[in-house]
Every structure is written in structure tokens, then in C-alpha cells.
Amino acid sequence: MCDTCGCNTPDNHSHNEHDKRLLELHEDVMSSNEVYAQQNREYFNKQKIFTVNLLSSPGSGKTTLLEKTIRLLKNSVSVAVIEGDQQTELDADRIRSAGANALQINTGAGCHLDAHQISHAIKEIELDSNSLLMIENVGNLVCPSMFNLGEHFKVVILSVTEGDDKPLKYPHMFHAADIVVFNKTDLLPYVDFDIEKSQSYAKQINPKVITFELSAKTGEGMTDWIDWLKLNLTNK
């Protein structure tokens, strides 16, 4: 074992070579992911399936937002959900109870979904043409930002119970985001969260990002979110 870095190679190995191998491995993984992501996107476009990738830290209210969204849309559009969690089918069961078809992917120790997993999932789950597919990624504001799934939009959900400086702390995620949903706004009177400052931080990282303010629990602000989804469903 190398005394310098602890890797499982002889002491006299070249650290530049070690770093190069790690870089090549990373590039291979990302390149392979992009191939599957492009295939997924081609399938979604051909079938006119509007696909959004929901990302957040744990406890942001992703599943509650999904439940509310499904109940508001299910009478006008077919909705399916791919659920990513490290363990259990609890969230998928909640989605089915809300009225949507759901498929669970348990990642075990994995901290994100990748395009290859989605390519398998869309073969297993029943997806209608001219429909909405929502992918609930593993709760994590780091790894999922790097993996394109073939989705049309990345939607980051930020709860007001979290820090308003999250966009600055996790810039890669907010740079990758197309949409930022500020959730649990019903709790604003009770928490120390400056929503205007947080929006400013998000736009500082990504000037093109679109933001929504809502409470999935009370329904406040849901109309704008639903209208945005319907508009993009129409345009697909």
C-alpha cells in the first residue's frame, strides 16, 4: 500500500498516473451515461412524454409535491413516476395512492439515479404517449447534478426549512437546475429564511433559472406550477 495516499498500489507508483486513471474512469462513466441519456431523450421526444427530474436534499417535500401534482393533473393527463430511494417502496406506495403509475428503483448505497437505470425503468413502467413522467431522484444535492437522465427539465426543490444559502453551498446543483421550487412557504412566518435572498443566490449561480414559490401542503402557489407543467405538456 502506498504510504503517501493510501491507495492499493506500490510505494513507488506515480501519483500522476493514479490521478490519470481516476480521471479516465470518471470520464468513461460520464460518457456512458450520456449515451443512455441521449437514447432516453430520443424515446421521450418520440413518444411525446414530458419528463422532469426532481432533485433536492432529504425532507424538502418532493413526494408531497408529487402527490399534490398528481391529484391536480390526473383527470387531464396521464402521469407516471419513477421513484429513486436507497431503500423501501414507501414513496412509490404514496404515489400509487395518489393515482399515478409508479416504479421504484432502490439504489442501495448509490446516491443518485443514472441514465442506464432510467432506460431499464421506462421498459418496465407503463408510459402513455402525450403524458407526464416525473422522476424523483435520491435525496442529495451533490451527485445527481452530474447525471443527465434524458429529462427535459431539472427541477430543484428547496424547502424554506433549509438554509437560504443552499444555492451558494451547492452551486453545481443550482447551476444545473432549470427550475427551483421554494416549497413549504406556509412555514415562512416561523422560520429564519429570506426567500428573496435565496432566489437572488440561485439567479447569481444560474441567471436563467425559473423559480416558483408554493406550499404543497396547503396548495398555495400550486396553480403557477401546474400551469407551467401543462404549458410544457402542450408544447411536446
Domain of residue 67, CATH code: 3.40.50.300
Provide φ and ψ at 210, rounded to 5°: -100, 140
Do the domain assignments include residue 9? no
Domain membership of residue 163 (yes or no) is yes
227: containing domain = 15-235
Residue 115 domain flag:
yes
Domain membership of residue 67 (yes or no) is yes
In a domain, 7, yes or no: no
Cα–Cα distance for residue pair 181/74, rounded to 1 Å:
21
Q: Is the pLDDT of residue 10 over 70?
A: no
Residue-level pLDDT at 1:
47
Answer whether residue 8 is part of any domain.
no
> Could you tell me the pTM of the whole model?
0.86
- Of residues 108 and 80, which shows the higher confidence score? 80
- Residues 7-34, mean pLDDT to the nearest whole number: 60
pLDDT tens track for 181-214? 999 999 999 999 999 999 999 999 999 999 999 9
Please state, rounded to an integer, the average pLDDT across all residues of the chain.
89
Does the residue 6 lie in any domain? no
- Sole residue written with cell 431522484: 137
pLDDT at 38 over 60: yes
The pLDDT of residue 88: 76
The predicted structure's pLDDT at residue 160: 98
The answer to whether residue 4 scores a pLDDT higher than 50 is no
Please indicate, yes or no, if residue 28 is contained in any of the structural domains. Answer: yes
Number of domains in the chain: 1
* Interval 98-109 mean pLDDT: 89
